[in-house]
Structure 1
């Protein structure tokens, strides 16, 4: 006689009924970091002039960011371009000017410094500032807290169902993590500040720092759990 292996049924039986529940958690917390996008622009009659001007403006913006020390956790340079502007009239291709762009991303953990830096950058010539975008760090304790709360909620709900049947939980059969996700953020864009003058105004006073209110972050965690119960007396 060929031996057979007894396989567990994917559903409950009268002697071992199963119970499936979902546990969820919703947390609302303050953000831990904020990101801003900085676009530096330059324009020149020839390519070398535009590149030299762009280099100078880029260095000025980076130096300004770095003055905030450890309050700036990360600075990254993204897209860079130098492109010609062709004339619209006359025969043949004639370059009227060259345009240069550099995009920088800065990530800060101090929101007072964020207001100061955003204002100072927006006061630079030919510089655009986008943001801020508020966020939690990937390893934030908030994610762990949400997962734990979701598991506790699943166990609590399962116990309530079992008690309603006049019985108790026997064992955990399966626990499935369906993910920890932040709530949908507003459409990209945020605040935008631009100083588009071609020459600085020496008589301008330094502007007061912007008062930026952090946007609360919503974290959602969800788990599916399956338990076995002692047979209820129906």
Structure 2
């Protein structure tokens, strides 16, 4: 019966016959955003609770219908929080309801930035409507993330070979490769556009001939870092 030879013991810090080399590889990529997120807050106010809710429902339906007209440019459309709250009088011995306030929040993700500029302008033309954003981003599945990781690995390999060359030797084997992390430059995502709630007045009908808002998308950054450990063919240091 043939015995399987025991594997050579692993020395985490290397040995004279199997020296170790550990290097770090980094990548920093900059690219155009792929999507943009906006938040729309719709507001209603009336002395009657039912009327407040009806007004809010009407604004919500009108806004959703408008956003949906942009078809494939809309990647995601979601309804967030809905709130109806009473406003009490500040004076008097008894608590009386002065008015009711209602608001509902929508979030939309778009992939067409020309459509985004037009949509923002049309939404800002609606009564009691607040728009926050856009926040520019890459999709989680964007190939840019994979490209950054590959570039970080290539840099680690190139750096290790340079060290080995300085010792007049070569790399022998890869011992370990650690993904330190891929980070998306979130600090660059926010663009300055926020439309405050419009004063209450006659309802303004959205029109397609409104001049679109001219937007300049914020470039996105992706950073990747890896740590790689190699064994070296023992160099001649004599």
Query: Shorter-chain TM-score: which interval?
Result: over 0.9
Q: What is the CA-CA distance between 1:79 and the residue it aligns to?
A: 1.0
Q: What is the CA-CA distance between 1:57 and the residue it aligns to?
A: 0.5
Cα–Cα, structure 1 residues 189 and 99, in superposed 2: closer, same or farther, change >3 Å?
farther
Identify which of 214, 220, 230 aligns with 1:227: 230
Identify which of 69, 78, 83 aligns with 1:81: 83
Q: 1:123, 1:195 within 8 Å by CA — same for their partners in 2? A: no
Partner of 2:142: 140
- What does 1:2-81 correspond to in 2, within 5 Å? 7-81=9-83
Which whole-Å CA distance do the structure 2 matches of 1:173 and 1:20 have between them?
9
Match of 2:187, SS state, is coil
Q: What is the CA-CA distance between 1:7 and the residue it aligns to?
A: 3.3
Q: What is the CA-CA distance between 1:190 and the residue it aligns to?
A: 3.5
Does 1:218 find its partner at 2:217?
no
Q: What is the CA-CA distance between 1:199 and the residue it aligns to?
A: 1.5
Partner of 1:91: 93
Q: What is the CA-CA distance between 1:184 and the residue it aligns to?
A: 3.7
Match of 2:140, SS state, is coil
Cα–Cα, structure 1 residues 222 and 203, in superposed 2: closer, same or farther, change >3 Å?
closer
Identify which of 104, 124, 127 aligns with 1:125: 127
Match of 1:185, SS state, is helix
Q: 2:118, 2:210 within 8 Å by CA — same for their partners in 1? A: no
How many pairs are equivalent?
231
Cα–Cα, structure 1 residues 202 and 76, in superposed 2: closer, same or farther, change >3 Å?
closer
- What does 1:98-177 correspond to in 2, within 5 Å? 98-177=100-179
RMSD value, Cα: 2.0
Q: What is the CA-CA distance between 1:189 and the residue it aligns to?
A: 7.5
With the length of structure 2 as denominator, give the TM-score of the two structures: 0.92
